[in-house]
Structure formats: structure tokens, C-alpha cells
Structure 1
Amino acid sequence: MTDRITLTGLRARGHHGVFDFERAQGQDFLVDVVLELDLGPAARSDEVTDTVHYGELADVLVGIIGGEPVNLIETLAERLAAACLADPRVQVATVTVHKPQAPIRHEFADVAVTLTRRR
């Protein structure tokens, strides 16, 4: 599959983490999603109903990020990938969850987990 829809830098506040202060205070998470699917039907019809509506997908993903807390961003990424694959047209979903405010005692640019799930 060579057709892709990419959503990069989706930001939402969540209360994920293993520490109590992370759960209490919350922090911003950034998510990148790459969906692999056949975009031919949408290209031919020019109808949004023939593709994944990325605005609606963003709403779902933000709901998950802001929803039930989990300890690990690996778990969060798994939930986000499952939401992406809920659309039967999506064959592969690659999700990266960035935790730029991770509680690390050293200077760092980013911490991220990336996973790929296939139908």
C-alpha cells in the first residue's frame, strides 16, 4: 500500500504517567498518525465519505488522549492505533506518541513511542 494520510503534531492534554503528579497535573502529548489505505476511491469520486475524514479522526484521538489515564505511552499509542483501525478502509496505522514534558532529570528534546499495527 503506497497511499497515506498523515496527521502530524496533534496536541492534547492528558493525565498519563506512572507518577501521581503526572496524573494530577496532566501534560501535553503530541501525536503523529500515518494511515495506509487505498485513496483511489476518494480521488475518483472527490467525496469525503470515500476516505478517512481526518478532522473527525482528530476528534476521536483527542478524546482518547484526554480520556482514561494510563501508565505508559505505549498503552496510549495502542489505543490510538486501535481507533485508527476502526475504519475498515485503513490497512496499516503507525502512531507516534510524544511526551515532551516527561519527568526526566536531564535536558532532552523529546521522548516518543512509535508503533505500527496492521489489519
Structure 2
Amino acid sequence: MMYAPDAERGRRVVFVRGLDLMARLGIHPHEKAAPQRIRVDIELLVQDEAAPTDIGPDDFRRVVDYQRLVELARSVVTAGHVLLVETLAERLAAAALADARVERARVTVEKPDAFQDVSGVGVVVERRRS
């Protein structure tokens, strides 16, 4: 489920899908011994008061930079071993919400190689600015 952009209220959606990373993640001995592949999706509901009215020249100060979002996710994931997928997803959501323009963050962390007969397991968290 995706957020819906709302031009009347000056909101847009910024997303990163299918970011494959190697993470030190898990509680089992084999997960602590070596990094494993994870897939991260991040979806942000972003406030931009000028969005519905100003279609003028590009203004990079108004937008959330998805390159920076990818770099932020890489930094959070590689910061050290995390026991729970839920904890990693929460850290990613909190990092995204550090940008004052972000109203809500939905983060999916998936372990695609956890089981041979399953395409993936993981968690989705959604957090909003309080």
C-alpha cells in the first residue's frame, strides 16, 4: 500500500524500492557470523507547501533527495549488527523522519534468503511525526 500524493494539501510521495544491501542482522549464530542480503523499501509522505501552485523553476531546497535517502539507508544498515529486523526498520524510519519535511515514513526490511522455499520474510513499520 502506497501513500497517496495530495496536491491540494501540498504533499508528495518520495520512495526507494528494492535497495539490496548486505547487513549484519539476526539472532542465529550463522547470522552473526556473516552479513546477509536484505531488501529495503522506503516510502515517505513529504510536505511541500508550494507543490500545488508553483510549477516554476526547479528548486532543490523543496525536495527530499532520494540519493541522500539511499545513502542514509546504507549508513544505518552498515552501522553494526542488529538482532531484529524490526529494530532496523525502526532505525531507518527514525532517520527518515529527521528531515522536518517528512510527515510519515513507511519502511520495509525483507530477508529474501532466509528460507529456501519462501521468497522473503520481514517487517513493515510506519511512523509519523508526532
Give your verdict on TM over 0.5. Answer: yes
1:116 — aligned with what?
126
Equivalent pair of 1:14/1:67 in contact (CA under 8 Å): no
Aligned-CA RMSD value:
1.7
TM-score (norm 2): 0.82
Structure 1: segments with no counterpart, 5+ residues: none
Instruction: Give the counterpart of 1:63 among 69, 75, 78.
Output: 75
1:90 — aligned with what?
102
Matches within 5 A, 1:1-40: 2=5, 3-40=12-49
Deviation of the 1:42 alpha carbon: 6.1
TM-score (norm 1): 0.89
For residues 10-58 of structure 1, give each alpha carbon's deviation from its aligned partner in whole angstroms, at most 9, with x where no partner exists.
1111111001221221111110011001245367352222111110111
Letter in 2 for 1:74: E
Identity %: 37
Deviates more, 1:77-86 or 1:41-50: 41-50
Deviation of the 1:9 alpha carbon: 0.5
Count, aligned residues: 117
Equivalent pair of 2:16/2:43 in contact (CA under 8 Å): yes
Counterpart-to-counterpart distance in 1, 2:102 and 2:121: 27
Deviation of the 1:69 alpha carbon: 1.1
Runs of 4+ in 1 over 6 A off after TM superposition: none
The structure with the greater share of residues assigned to helix is 1
Letter in 2 for 1:110: G
Structure 2: segments with no counterpart, 5+ residues: 6-11
Equivalent pair of 2:97/2:104 in contact (CA under 8 Å): yes
Letter in 2 for 1:93: A
Q: SS in structure 1 opposite 2:105?
A: strand
Equivalent pair of 1:7/1:34 in contact (CA under 8 Å): yes
